[in-house]
Amino acid sequence: MSALGRVVRSGVGRRRVQTIVIGLVVLIAVTSAVLGGSLLVAANAPFERAFAQQHGAHLTAQFDGGKITAAQLSDSAQAAGVTAAAGPFQTASINPVDDHGRDIPPMTVVGRADPSGSSVDAVSLTAGRWATAPGELVVYSDGRFRGNQRTLGRVWQMPDLPGSPSLTIVGIARSVSETAGGWVAPEQIAALTAPGAAGGYQMLYRFAAADNAAQVDTGRAAVAATLPAGALTGATSWLTTRLNAAGNTILLVPILIAFGVLGVLMAVLIVGNVIAGAVSTGTRRIGILKALGFTPTQVVRAYLAQALIPALVGAGLGVVAGSALTIPILAETNQIFGTSDSGVAPWVCAVVLAGALALVAATAWAAASRAGRLRTVDALAVGRTPTPGRGQWAARLTGRLPLPRPLTLGLAHPFARPVRSATMVAAIAFGAAAVTFAVGLGASLNQIQAADDNHGHVVVHPGPPPPGEPGAEGGTTSVQPIKPIDPAAVAKVITAQAGTAGYSGSAQTEVTVAGLANALDTLAFTGDKSAYGYRMVSGTWFTGPGEIVVATPFLTATHTRIGDSVVLTDHGTQITVRIVGEVFNTENRGMELLTALATLSAAEPDLQPMEYNVVLRPGVDPGGYAAALTVALEPLAVSAQPVESGTSSLLAVINALTALFTLLLGIVAALGVLNTVVLETRERVHDLGVHKALGMTPRQTIAMVIASVVVTGLVGGAVGAPIGVLLQRLVLGDMGRTAGFNLPDSVVHVYRPAELVLFGLGGLLIAVLGSLLPAGWAAGTRTATALRTE
Amino acid sequence: MTVPVIELQDVIRKYDAGPPALQQVSLSIAAGEAVAILGPSGSGKSTLLNLVAGLDRPTSGTVTVDGVRVDELGEAASARYRRAKVGMVFQFFNLLDDLTVADNVMLPAQLAGMARGAAQRRAKELLGTLGVYRHAGAYPGRLSGGERQRVSVARALMNRPALLLADEPTGALDTASGEDVRQLLNDLHSDGQTIVLVTHDLALAEACATRTVQLVDGRVAADTTMAPAR
């Protein structure tokens, strides 16, 4: 082994704590980066590939056939920024029933003669053939109705249209742009258009620039400007479609990026601190090495290697850990696309590995370069004695505090080494920020979960209660036919039940909206507590028929805002409604309409609630209430159960990842403190001997060392907690934007002042935990040995 | 017969390698004595001082100081023992650079729990007595070697110890400063302070000590009572 190799090996071996700290911090940073990078790439890659192959539409636009002509639409292809266009294609909204009389979700069908002949949205057939004649239908493979090989040949009827026209499914096709629920021959559209309805047109556009929402909006505005006002009734951006396609895994990316950034910053900080500390405490050693003939470059390389060896091990393990975590998380994406990607992109691993090592090398070089610059004679003379004089003012000041002397001595220590103390503050701040961020994120996600789950304390369903629930008949397994509910009678019983604060009854149906290919779930409410559990982002809850409340994705997909009116088609009847509120509602990815039952009663006179959510007065036990209500409802063949909240699998994954990374970052922060306190203790070992010789007991020594990190812990916590809050806001906002939701205040503002104080004190806890080991070491140091140390 | 303040019986101190630093040493020092431990480098002088100070423990044998079995004390009890019974003066002063002279002197008393006000009064008195009160607010780095050793002696006397241990107290001083410290130790002994002095300096031993103990290879080679100090 070369002389340099021996020096490096002894350096790595002698500084085990520092070596472990570097390895661990790089491991965390690389794990986060590999996981985040792989998820980002894997979540978008299948869509991107398919979109490129099919020349996907950047904008799918729906037009009112009564306000525009096909010729005008053809001219819109010349609008500024449009590089390619397809259409106009005639459209119709249909409400089919299958050959067994069962309702099929409503869908928008498009008249297209050719699946792939156009320059935009080259639809790919996955089964059967294209519809070439009236009476034939090609179904979109991934819509609300999932077409597959077995559905070929089935016949659907449209009973709400004159003559009840029928369509035979002849093909299954996939449009990555999701431009239609189904396709028919162009001449079929007329028979599928309700009498008196103007019908619609669809145009598909590709723009020169469509990388973000602003660019797509610019393109949309350019198209709209070439056409009569009001003709454009709806449009869907490819960004919305891509978002839906990416699935939930994309939501993890902002969290992982946050932890990755924290990890990288901590890695830079701690690697820099460790190497600077090694140079500082090894000044005499450096002097000896140089006196023996080591060149400055060799000395720098020796210290560089001391950082790079553990970093290489940490980075390698980080790649393995990141890859191992990526695979199970991506199972969901694979399901969506039917792909079998392992999810681990080798180039992501390579980039992260190279980036991490480059960062460590640069940081270590910056810290180690001082070792190269040190003059041999100075290094030999200075040795490890710290420069006197610094921090004397602090010692004088703390000496006047009415505290035991060991504490006041310790409190002054950070001021003797301000730069080192600043790095310790930063390490603690990152740790406190990670804890604050993680707890806040968890609270926000639980709020989101609560917003999804909690719309009452007791739920009332038709039929008897399930086995095991209060009022259930033991041992009965036979399926009883569910009788229709008598809404008025059920409402009367609920209202009369002691403990009822209010209730909402909800009926579920589907409607279509111009510009959206798929039908939308719609919840139509009765009762006085329909708003219970819903978190408003802006606007108000509906107060009567004709008003709807929607989530952000709906507003985005339809390019509408609060106050706008939209036209719903429900069983062939067109209903104009006004959007009065934006609600945080993640059901059906936010594509769900909430309205009063009366809004749809003209289109669906038979629509009635199939579920009731009961809100209880404070202090009422939901279990007892549900049992009593079930008894009261028995004659109506309806039963009640208390609402139980569950945790979604995605939330569980996020919580687990957040806890894992927080724990690791907390440990690294504590190790950063430990490393610094070890350095401090080594440098002060002679003073420690003096203190002990003068009568300082081991307990007083421990108190002094712990006190030396109190100020840095408090400052680090005070700095870190607000950073954590800021990070929570940034990540949550980014997650919301990624998912396409604006978030209500109750989800974002989750910190109480007292909690923030506790998070600030978390910095102190990290500092104290990190100092315990060196404090014990200091207390156990033999006085005579310490006194001999110079 | 005077009750011994320090009593070592059959003390052996072995380290990991090499011959024992102390071999079968028995020694008794009475209150008010000023004893100089003499011997060449490696003879065991500092080891003996460390054992008496409770900084180290014998491999075998007993060390009793002012009725306390020092060899049986744990770390915390040793620290309390040093506070109560022992004042130490070092060759290189061992003053803390980031504390003022007054703070250095007050430190043993404050570690023992004395209130700051009381400690200040005692430090003022000692610094005045030793002629360095004008430096009370200064930092040790600004003082001459002799002044630093005076401050070191003041710190050692802060808790009114039964025993003053001095390890080469003039070893790092110039001639004038050395003479200054010599006179100081003489004055303290005259006032009844028991002193154990480790030194190479025969002149210092002759000037300050009433008795000399010569150590050679860890054994007591000679134990001589001298004429009263001048």
Q: How far apart are CA A707 and CA A764, in angstroms?
A: 10
Instruction: Put the strands of the sheet holding B60-65 in their side by side order.
Output: B22-30, B4-13, B60-65, B68-69
Burial bucket for residue A539 (CB in 10 Å: 0-12, 13-18, 19+): middle
Contact B228, B211 (CB under 8 A): no
- Give the C-alpha separation, B133 to B135, whole Å: 5
pLDDT for A474 equals: 45
ipTM for this model: 0.84
Determine the residue type at A424: M
Q: Do A388 and B76 touch (CB under 8 A)?
A: no
A385-409: per-residue pLDDT in tens?
A: 445 567 788 888 888 888 999 999 9
C-beta separation of A395 from B98 below 8 A: yes
Q: Rounded CA gap, A778 and A780, in Å?
A: 5
Q: Which of B98, B114, B116, B152 to mutate to test the interface with A (most CBs of A within 10 A)?
A: B98
Per-residue pLDDT at A229: 75
Among A residues 364-403, those touching chain B with beta carbons less than 8 Å apart: 388-392, 395-396, 399-400, 402
Q: What is the band of A478 on the pLDDT scale with cuts at 50, 70, 90?
A: very low
The residue with greater pLDDT, A142 or A599, is A599
Q: Are A23 and A314 in contact (CB under 8 A)?
A: yes
Least confident of A157-166, A325-334, A457-466, B146-155: A325-334
The contacts of residue A732 (CB under 8 Å, 6+ apart) are: A441, A444, A743, A747, A748
- Closest partner CB to A696 (pick from B79, B103, B116): B79
- Parallel, antiparallel, or unpaired for β B163-167 and B194-199? parallel
Contact predicate A273/A420, CB 8 Å? yes
Nearest CA in chain B to A696: B79
Kindly report the nearest CA distance between residue B82 and chain A, in angstroms: 5
pLDDT, averaged across chain A: 80
Q: Long-range contacts of range A541-546, CB-CB < 8 Å, 24 or more positions apart?
A: A541/A580, A541/A581, A541/A583, A542/A580, A542/A581, A542/A594, A542/A595, A542/A596, A542/A599, A543/A580, A544/A596, A544/A598, A545/A595, A545/A596, A545/A598, A545/A599, A545/A601, A546/A576, A546/A577, A546/A578, A546/A599
DSSP-assigned letters across all residues of A217-258: HHHHHHHHHTS-TT-EEEEEEHHHHHHHHH-GGGGHHHHHHH
Residues 6+ apart with CB under 8 A from A10: none
Find out whether A457 and A285 touch, Cβ atoms under 8 Å.
no
Q: Which residue has the higher pLDDT, A173 or A524?
A: A524
**Burial degree of A479 (CB within 10 A; 0-12, 13-18, 19+):** exposed
Q: Note the pLDDT of residue A705.
A: 93
Predicted pLDDT at A712: 92
Of A388, A404, A693, Cβ closest to residue B98: A388
CA atoms within 13 Å, Cβ hemisphere of A267: 33
Q: Of A699, A702, A721, A715, which Cα lies nearest the Cα of A764? A: A715
Rounded CA gap, A224 and A280, in Å?
A: 68
Distance separating alpha carbons of residues A714 and A694, to the nearest angstrom: 30
pTM of the predicted structure, to 2 decimals: 0.68
The answer to whether the beta carbons of residues A67 and A241 sit under 8 Å apart is no
Place of tokens 């525009």: A68
**Residue range(s) defining the domain that contains residue B26:** 4-225
| Whether A548 contacts A593, CB under 8 Å | yes
SS3 annotation, A609-626 = CCEEEEEECCCCCHHHHH
pLDDT of residue A317: 93
Which residues in chain B show pLDDT less than 50?
1, 229-230
Distance from CA of B7 to the nearest CA of A (A): 21
Tokens representing A237? 């951006």
Determine if residue A200 is left, alpha or beta; phi over 0 gives left, psi from -120 to 50 gives alpha, anything else beta: beta
The residue that leads in pLDDT, A141 or A237, is A237
The arithmetic mean of pLDDT across residues A612-623, rounded, is 89
pLDDT at A653 over 80: no
Helix and strand tally (H, E) in chain A? 26, 20
For residue B94, the chain A residue with the least C-alpha distance is: A690
Q: Report the pLDDT value the prediction gives residue A684, as an integer from 0 to 100.
A: 83
pLDDT at A57 over 50: yes
Pairing label, strands B68-69, B60-65: antiparallel
Q: Is residue A537 over pLDDT 70?
A: yes
As given in the structure block, the two tokens for residue A455 are 């719309």
**Higher pLDDT pick, A625 / A342:** A625
Rounded Cα distance, A189 and A202, in Å:
12
pLDDT, tens only, A76-100? 888 888 888 887 888 888 878 877 7
Q: Where are the domains of chain A?
A: 1-65+231-384, 66-230, 388-453+647-790, 458-470+483-642
Give the orientation angle of helix A16-53 with respect to helix A3-14, to 10 degrees: 100
pLDDT at A337: 42
| A474 conformational bin, left if phi > 0, alpha if psi -120 to 50, beta if neither | beta
Among A270, A432, A256, A419, smallest CA distance to A352 is for A256
Taking CA–CA distances from B49, the nearest residue in chain A reads: A784
Helices then strands, counting H and E runs in chain B, come out as: 7, 10
Torsion of CA A437, A439, A442, A447, to 10 degrees: -100
Question: Which DSSP string corresponds to B51-90?
Answer: HHHTSS--SEEEEEETTEEGGG--HHHHHHHHHHHEEEE-
Question: Contact at 8 Å (CB) between A629 and A452?
Answer: no
Find, among A54, A49, A43, A62, the residue nearest to A181 by Cα.
A62
Share of residues in chain A with pLDDT > 90 (%): 11
CA distance A269 to chain B (A): 28
CB atoms within 10 A of CB A382: 16
How far is residue A431's CA from residue A444's CA, in Å, rounded to a whole number? 20
- What CA–CA distance (Å, rounded) separates A249 from A332? 7
- Alpha-carbon distance A773 to A784, whole Å? 21
The neighbour count for residue A52, using CB atoms within 10 Å, is 10
In chain B, the number of structural domains is 1
pLDDT at A464 over 80: no
pLDDT value at residue A6: 66
3-state SS assignment for residue A709: coil
The pLDDT value recorded for residue A630 is: 87
pLDDT of residue A579: 94
- Could you give the C-alpha distances from A760 to A680, A716, B177, in angstroms and in order? 24, 8, 53
State whether A700 and B98 contact (CB < 8 Å): no
Q: Do B83 and A693 touch (CB under 8 A)?
A: no
CA neighbor of A203 nearest in space, from A110, A127, A275: A110
Residue A578: both structure tokens together = 């006004």
Chain B residues within an 8 Å CB radius of A406:
111
Lowest mean pLDDT of A120-124, A138-142, A291-295, B144-148, name the range.
A291-295
Classify residue A454 as exposed, middle or buried by CB count within 10 Å of its CB (0-12, 13-18, 19+).
Answer: middle
Spatial separation of the C-alpha atoms in residues B41 and B1, rounded to whole Å: 34
**What is the sign of the dihedral through the CA atoms of B8, B10, B15 and B21?**
positive
pLDDT at A35 over 50: yes
Residue A466 has pLDDT above 60, yes or no: no
Confidence at residue B1, expressed as pLDDT on a 0 to 100 scale = 47
Between chain A and chain B, the number of residue pairs with CB atoms below 8 A apart is 86
Who's near A296: CB < 8 A, 6+ residues apart? A290, A371, A372, A373
Digit-coded pLDDT (tens) for A704-732? 999 999 999 999 999 999 999 998 888 88
C-alpha span between A177 and A122 (Å, rounded): 10
CATH code for the domain of B25: 3.40.50.300
Which residues 410-439 of chain A have a CB within 8 Å of chain B? Answer: 412, 416
What is the H or E stretch that residue A739 is in? helix A710-739
Residues of B with CB under 8 A from a CB of A: 50, 53, 55-56, 75-76, 79-80, 82-84, 88, 90, 94, 96-100, 103, 107-108, 110-113, 116, 139, 141, 155, 159
| Residue spans of alpha helices (H) in A226-339 | 238-246, 252-281, 283-291, 296-329, 331-337
Angle at A376 between CA A370 and CA A378, to 5 degrees: 85
Assess if residue B230 is contained within a domain: no
Answer positive or negative: Cα dihedral of A384, A385, A386, A387. Answer: negative
Distance CA B21, CA B223 (A): 18
Q: What is the pLDDT of residue A269?
A: 79
Q: Which of A170-174, A246-250, A352-356 has the lowest mean pLDDT?
A: A246-250
Q: How far apart are CA B130 and CA B146, in angstroms?
A: 11
Distance between CA B82 and CA B84 in Å, rounded? 5
- The verdict on A697 touching B (C-beta cutoff 8 Å) is yes
Other C-beta atoms closer than 10 Å to the C-beta of B6 total 23
pLDDT of residue A424: 86
